[in-house]
Amino acid sequence: MEQLVTSDFKLGIIAGGQLGKMLVLAASNWDVRTYILDTDDHCPAATSCTCFVQGSQLDYDDVIRFGNMVDLITFEIENVNIEALKQLKADGKKIYPEPETLEIIQDKGLQKIFYRDNHIPSPRFVLCDNREAVLAAAERQTLPLPFVQKLRKGGYDGKGVALMRSKDDLVDALNGASVVESLIDIRKEIAVIVARNGRGETQCFPVVEMEFNDEANLVERLICPAALDAEILAQATDIATRIVSLLNLRGVLAVEMFVDTNNAVWVNEIAPRPHNSGHHTIESVVTSQFEQLLRAIFNFPLGSTQLKMPSVMINLLGEPGCDGPVRYEGLTECMSIGGVKIHLYGKKVTKPFRKMGHVTVLAPTIEEAIQKSDIVKRTLRVTSW
Ligand code: ADP
């Protein structure tokens, strides 16, 4: 095991966005050589990794070529060519999480079947092959309105999700194989990141609350720890632990959940990789989600997930109306606020609502962290020249 982190061990990370960059930085604490596969040679991880390999994570030949350059493969994105990963695995390459697990998660329909078969609480659903089938399901009340239509594949950050509150909304039904699921009366959206190593040991991070920007459908503010009764928190961590164990997953798994107005907990979706809802762990938890992923895939004991200090994380999104070379306004003012930790991903070009960075605010109380994060939100702006 030791040789994994004290030698010329080559860790391959598929895709080099901000998650890849933060993973590379965590790996740099050990003597690991990091290889990044990405189409964009200016991607956030390109300047920090040991070796940048240009290519698409969706292209069979690119993934095979990349896989053959490294000792172990992980990924920071779900949308990866599965056939290539399966071939690499058949050739003896170590890939964690494994391609078969990723294949289930890539398809929201297979995810829902997995929850149903394993009695994991998740909103009731039907599968529809196309738009016509969605309209027919609404007509026949196979699943009564209101409901949520989600494309089975390719959606992210709310893209590929359509809320159907009444018959009038059906004109906006999406075309494509979909999950149609009942609408939950949401009190809070929460997430739990759980890690599992090769010995089957599991460890959950503290439950977080997520507040969304309705316009962009991106997390606007993340609060850790979540202000919920101990019983609900225990349910959420128990569900996350059950899922990671049932999937036999080695790595980290982010489990997004809803707490409804009756305080019932429902699984929304899962992601088998580091997650936006775990950015704060870099500063506010003893072990970050990135170090934990490395421990899990290298089969080390998992690290402590004890909270060091309450925290609020806000995403730095490109301002609406700004499209071009990036400019940050208000950095100096924000750096002068105690407990404010600014992360800029190094993307050269901003676009409306593009994730350009994040800020974690640490404070002795959540109230203080929220107050400071509000100042940061007003002051720190991502515009263009
Ligand atoms: P994505 O994978 O694009 O992030 P999600 O499945 O997380 O899409 O859905 C995006 C948002 O839509 C959620 O954060 C939630 O606010 C809302 N949503 C999704 N499913 C439901 C549901 N069954 N009931 C109520 N709201 C939902």
Question: What mean pLDDT value characterizes the chain?
Answer: 95
Mean pLDDT of 95-121: 98
Mean pLDDT of 108-116: 98
- pLDDT value of position 61: 98
**Which position has the higher pLDDT, 88 or 154?**
88
- pLDDT value of position 251: 98
Calpha distance 34→41 (Å, rounded) = 15
Write the pLDDT tens digit of every residue in 322-364. 999 999 999 999 999 999 999 999 999 999 999 999 999 999 9
Residue nearest to atom 2 of ligand 1 (CA): 156
- pLDDT value of position 297: 97
Calpha distance 360→217 (Å, rounded) = 20
Mean pLDDT of 289-310: 97
Could you tell me the distance, in angstroms and rounded to a whole number, from the CA of residue 292 to the centre of ligand 1?
27
Strand partners, 73: 12, 95
**Lowest model confidence (mean pLDDT) among 92-96, 171-175, 274-278:** 171-175
- The reply to whether ligand 1 has any atom less than 6 angstroms from the CB of 161 is yes
Could you tell me the distance, in angstroms and rounded to a whole number, from the CA of residue 212 to the centre of ligand 1?
10
Write the pLDDT tens digit of every residue in 214-239. 777 778 899 999 999 999 999 999 99
- The reply to whether ligand 1 has any atom less than 6 angstroms from the CB of 218 is no
pLDDT reading at 2 higher than 70? no
Mean pLDDT of 59-68: 98
Calpha distance 313→370 (Å, rounded) = 9
Mean pLDDT of 250-261: 98
Mean pLDDT of 126-134: 95
What is the pTM (predicted TM-score) of this model? 0.96
With b meaning 16 or more CB within 10 Å and e meaning fewer, what string describes 167-179? Answer: eebbeebbebebb
Number of H helices, E strands in the chain: 11, 21
How distant, in Å, are the alpha carbons of 210, 227, 230, 260 from that of 233? 14, 9, 5, 13
pLDDT reading at 1 higher than 80? no
Work out the pLDDT band at 7, boundaries 50, 70, 90: confident
- pLDDT value of position 157: 74
**Which position has the higher pLDDT, 140 or 43?**
43
Mean pLDDT of 24-44: 96
- pLDDT value of position 3: 64
pLDDT reading at 161 higher than 90? yes
- pLDDT value of position 292: 98
- The reply to whether ligand 1 has any atom less than 6 angstroms from the CB of 158 is yes
